[in-house]
A and B are shown apart, each in its own frame.
Chain A
Amino acid sequence: MKKALKKCIIFLNICFLIFITSGCWNNHDITDVSIAVAAGLDKTEDDTIELTLQLVKPAVVRARKYGGFEESAVSVFSSTGDMVFQAVRNILSSVNKKVYFGHLQLIVIGEELAREGISDILDFFERDHEINPKAYVIIAKGTTARKVLHANSKLETIPAIHITSLLENDIALPKINKKMLFDLLRETSHKGHDITIGVIEIEEKDGADKELLVGDMKVTGTAVFKKDKLVGWLDPAETRGYLLVADKVKSGIINIPDPLTEEGRKIAIEIIRSRGKRDVLIQDGHIILSIEIEAIGNIGEQQSVKDIITIEKGKMLAEQLNDAIKKNVKEVIEISQKKFKSDIYGFGQIVHIKYPDYWKQIKDNWDYEFSNATVDIQVTSTIKRPGLITQPTRPQ
């Protein structure tokens, strides 16, 4: 009986422990953390790292749902530190709850910091167990991350969500270079592959004192890196060329001149499917970068009245589309070869896989080899459908 009593007491103790220890280790209630949606990283003048965080105020999110509540749903805090982690901890001097990074949606990196190299700062985001690897990474062009994250939004309760949804528009607008943290880290680790990251820049605004809004910014364009350092920019049109080669275009519009009229009228082709294939050939010791692009498009808009619905004319249109895409791609390849000497398409990686022995010989010299390689661009495009009408309606 005594033994049983002892066992009972032990059992009750165990039961009781459950209630005491339930606050420990990983059990942290949502109300005890502040959810960070966006993190911004900048270089300060005295060479430290400035971390800017956009933290959600759940109560305001809820109130704004019912309308009429104009207070911002996020609050923005900044702190500095020699390294990122220190800055993350330093922010607790002004933020009341532990910052939770599990739902980080956006990482903005200031231009200045990006020019000095990003691998050092990305280490924290790669190493920490809490960070959401699906967060988008973006470079603040001509401005600081702090400024970008201080912008407000009229369309979304949370400005960072406004920016991420802009980035997600890349399925319809192939001028946006969307990149997740996970993909970025993967591409960085590849041999012979330089990285690109999307860009956010503040457009000229009318009034100087006007409050900065996300709507005043645009996310088109690309930041080109060499190793981990920012070397330059691609403008939106060049970005499209880059994305076509990198096989990241889902849908987009390409305008081509109408082949039937001479007056500079245009036809808009909606690309519905495109496939970019990169390959490297070595002929007589020369490296040939071969790019094949297949595009399928529909006619989206036509300025002239000419009937274009015949097979021959469709072929003519396809020729025009081929030329337009080829021109676009040639341009951007030339920039990356000559201006930046940065292999943003990962041709080096293809050499590494295809000709491993050859890669060993040239890997230290790849930049030179890449910028002097011959480029062969093949484009095959098809025009599928003319839309709902065959002949445009015009005053007769």
Chain B
Amino acid sequence: MFREIYRKLNYLRLRAINENKRNLNHNNSSDTNRPIPKSIDKIKSSLQNVFSDCADVIIREFALGESSQVKFIIAFVEGLVEKEVISTHVLKSLMTEVKKVDLNKRITSHGMVKILKENLLSACEVNETKNYLETIHAILSGNTVLYIDGNDTAIIIDTKGWEQRGIEEPDTESVVRGPREGFSETLRNNTALLRRKIKNPNLKFEVFRLGEQTQTDICICYIKGIAREDIIDTVKRRINNINTDAILESGYIEEFIEDAPLSIFPTVGNSEKPDVVAAKLLEGRVAILCDGTPFVLTVPYLFMESLQASEDYYARPIFSSIVRLLRLLALAITTFLPAFYVALVAFHQNVIPFKLLLTIASSREGIPFSPFMEALLMGIIFELLREAGVRMPRPIGQAISIVGALVLGEASVEAGLVSDLMVIITAITAITSFVLPPLGGTVPMIRIALLIGANVLGLVGLGLIAVVFIIHLCTIRSFGVPYMSPFSPLSKEELKDSVIRVPIWEMLTRPRLLTQNNTMHNKYRMKINFRKKED
């Protein structure tokens, strides 16, 4: 059924794209390869035309050489550039160094650019272009463009520098042990953070530009020789196929490239921490960095990853294995507990020990709702509270917790609307759901589906719905890798880093499904590297 909905949606999308294309063909006026006009006046008027009513764009005209023979224009966006760099490394060097060279109109255009690049401009990154649109993009990205009179080549000087957030500890993934740095909103900083973790020329960053309007920089990142080529190609192909107005966050990309767009399970992972992403790159995954967000996507994303945390690898193996088992238990509790309770109380009272039955019966005495309605009600109230807690500003957050704990918990029991056992069950469910942040959006849906199943057919219904979910989990794939691996298909070799984590010196091989297995040697590669270091 989902497949059908997906097909319908796909059809609507393709139709819209076709219509769009037709419209585009009608007024196809923009040519991408427009040359830069030679005359400085033309350039100026053109720039003023393009950036009309753009108060943040600064266009400055000046002249150099004997009796100001050669005219120049520099253009940049205020706030995106470091003015210090422009004044010292562009303007000052041009105006003072110009005395050392003989700058006059007789110099050929090629020679002029050469002199400027090699002798006069002291900024570090300098490029030349003949494409007018490219210069516009450059200006908008925070570069400074130097146009030269009588010359069809412009010089792009990298002067990017804007107010940005520093490297802070991310709120979403806090750790007790491990690095505390997190990605920030600037793409370049983020790539630098990764490069600092993996000092290897095989770490590749490939840049794309997405979004008709936003022209956002996207960077896919992988380690050549470890990541599977076909996965890299798939990622590139899917990203190239994106045709959209805006990419404001990596979530936009995620939606376009994920394998199961209508499934409740995420097939693209994200992280805010460079060490997490670096570890995933080393396992052969591909990371997608997006300018303007600290969230970096990683593909392929497997179900097991939602139960893993970076700290598992920093803590001692026995401890982290126990924590993994705890997380698995938490997953079971947070999805099954309310449904299990409803199934027992409404269908299988025989199973409950007699003394517990008395407790349940006495706590449910006089409650007007059925256990199912109670569980549903409390579940919805909890989700509301959680959502309110996230959206509210911090000071109001306290008020919410008072309302939640006192009014809804205590008072509803006192008033006889909800049994106190249900409050406890909701609380346990909530606590256990906090253990698994990556599944935060998925778990409530599973919980409610199981709840409905349990209310209709008792434990049988619970089992049926659970089987439906397990079948679904086993069918989906993320970039060609089965979502449930290493459990389904079972790979004994890779169970070493699943429910338990074996010591790092025991993990001799990389994940088979994620990495290239081009040579036999590969299997023992990590071990060999390890020995070399000792020598």
A294 to B86 Cα, complex, angstroms: 104
Interface centre among A4, A7, A21, A31 (most CB of B within 10 A): A31
**A283 interface residue per 8 A CB criterion:** no
- CB contacts (< 8 Å) of A72 on chain B: these are none
Q: Nearest CB to that of B453 among chain A residues?
A: A18
Q: Are A22 and B456 in contact (CB under 8 A)?
A: yes
Q: Which of B451-493 contact A (CB under 8 A)?
A: 452, 455-456, 458
- CB contacts (< 8 Å) of A100 on chain B: these are 349
Determine, out of B14-22, B159-167, B272-280, B359-367, the stretch whose residues face the partner at the interface.
B359-367
**A200 interface residue per 8 A CB criterion:** no
**A304 interface residue per 8 A CB criterion:** no
**A105 interface residue per 8 A CB criterion:** yes
Q: Are B358 and A58 in contact (CB under 8 A)?
A: yes
- CB contacts (< 8 Å) of B358 on chain A: these are 35, 56, 58, 61, 158
Interface centre among A58, A62, A105, A130 (most CB of B within 10 A): A58
| B interface footprint on A53-82 (CB within 8 Å = 1, 0 otherwise) | 000101101100000000000000000000
State whether A4 and B362 are in contact (beta carbons under 8 Å apart), knowing that A26-B458, A102-B350 are contacts in the complex.
Answer: no
A56 to B362 Cα, complex, angstroms: 10
Which single member of A7, A21, A103 contacts B350 (CB below 8 Å)? A103
Interface centre among A7, A27, A61, A132 (most CB of B within 10 A): A27
Q: Are B361 and A27 in contact (CB under 8 A)?
A: no
**A29 interface residue per 8 A CB criterion:** yes
Q: Nearest CB to that of A103 among chain B residues?
A: B354
Q: Are A59 and B354 in contact (CB under 8 A)?
A: no
A18 to B362 Cα, complex, angstroms: 28
Interface centre among B347, B350, B361 (most CB of A within 10 A): B361
- Nearest-CB distance from B452 to chain A (Å)? 6
Q: Are A27 and B455 in contact (CB under 8 A)?
A: yes
Q: Are B362 and A58 in contact (CB under 8 A)?
A: yes
- Nearest-CB distance from A72 to chain B (Å)? 15
Q: Nearest CB to that of A164 among chain B residues?
A: B354
Interface centre among A4, A62, A158 (most CB of B within 10 A): A62
- CB contacts (< 8 Å) of B371 on chain A: these are 29
Q: Are A28 and B346 in contact (CB under 8 A)?
A: yes
Q: Which of B406-460 contact A (CB under 8 A)?
A: 452, 455-456, 458
- Nearest-CB distance from A11 to chain B (Å)? 7
**B118 interface residue per 8 A CB criterion:** no
- CB contacts (< 8 Å) of B452 on chain A: these are 18
Q: How many residues of A contact B (CB 8 A)?
A: 27
**A311 interface residue per 8 A CB criterion:** no
Q: Are B362 and A62 in contact (CB under 8 A)?
A: yes
Q: Nearest CB to that of A34 among chain B residues?
A: B361
**B60 interface residue per 8 A CB criterion:** no
Interface centre among A29, A33, A35, A59 (most CB of B within 10 A): A29
A31 to B427 Cα, complex, angstroms: 23
**B345 interface residue per 8 A CB criterion:** yes
Q: Are A31 and B367 in contact (CB under 8 A)?
A: yes
A21 to B354 Cα, complex, angstroms: 28
**A388 interface residue per 8 A CB criterion:** no
State whether A105 and B346 are in contact (beta carbons under 8 Å apart), knowing that A22-B455, A29-B364 are contacts in the complex.
Answer: no
Chain A binding surface SS class: mixed
Chain B binding surface SS class: helix
- CB contacts (< 8 Å) of A29 on chain B: these are 345-346, 364, 370-371
A58 to B363 Cα, complex, angstroms: 8
- CB contacts (< 8 Å) of B347 on chain A: these are 26-27
**B50 interface residue per 8 A CB criterion:** no
- Nearest-CB distance from B465 to chain A (Å)? 11
Q: Are B8 and A132 in contact (CB under 8 A)?
A: no
Q: Are B349 and A31 in contact (CB under 8 A)?
A: no
Which single member of B346, B350, B372, B458 contacts A132 (CB below 8 Å)? B350
**B1 interface residue per 8 A CB criterion:** yes
Q: Are B346 and A31 in contact (CB under 8 A)?
A: no
- Nearest-CB distance from A129 to chain B (Å)? 9
**B357 interface residue per 8 A CB criterion:** yes
- CB contacts (< 8 Å) of B367 on chain A: these are 31
**A12 interface residue per 8 A CB criterion:** no
**A208 interface residue per 8 A CB criterion:** no
- CB contacts (< 8 Å) of B535 on chain A: these are none
Q: Which of A27-44 contact B (CB under 8 A)?
A: 27-31, 33, 35
Q: Which residues of B contact A (CB under 8 A)?
A: 1, 4, 8, 345-347, 349-350, 354, 357-358, 360-367, 370-372, 452, 455-456, 458
Q: Which residues of A contact B (CB under 8 A)?
A: 4, 7, 11, 18, 21-23, 26-31, 33, 35, 56, 58-59, 61-62, 100, 102-103, 105, 130, 132, 158
The 26 listed contacts between A and B (C-beta, < 8 Å) are A4-B4, A4-B8, A18-B456, A22-B370, A22-B372, A26-B347, A27-B346, A27-B455, A27-B456, A28-B346, A29-B346, A29-B370, A30-B361, A31-B365, A31-B366, A31-B367, A35-B361, A56-B358, A56-B361, A58-B362, A58-B365, A103-B350, A103-B354, A130-B350, A132-B350, A158-B358
Task: Given A22-B455, A29-B364, A103-B354, output 17 extra A-B contacts at Cβ < 8 Å.
Answer: A7-B4, A22-B372, A27-B347, A28-B346, A29-B371, A30-B349, A30-B357, A31-B365, A33-B349, A61-B362, A62-B362, A62-B365, A102-B349, A103-B357, A105-B354, A132-B350, A158-B358
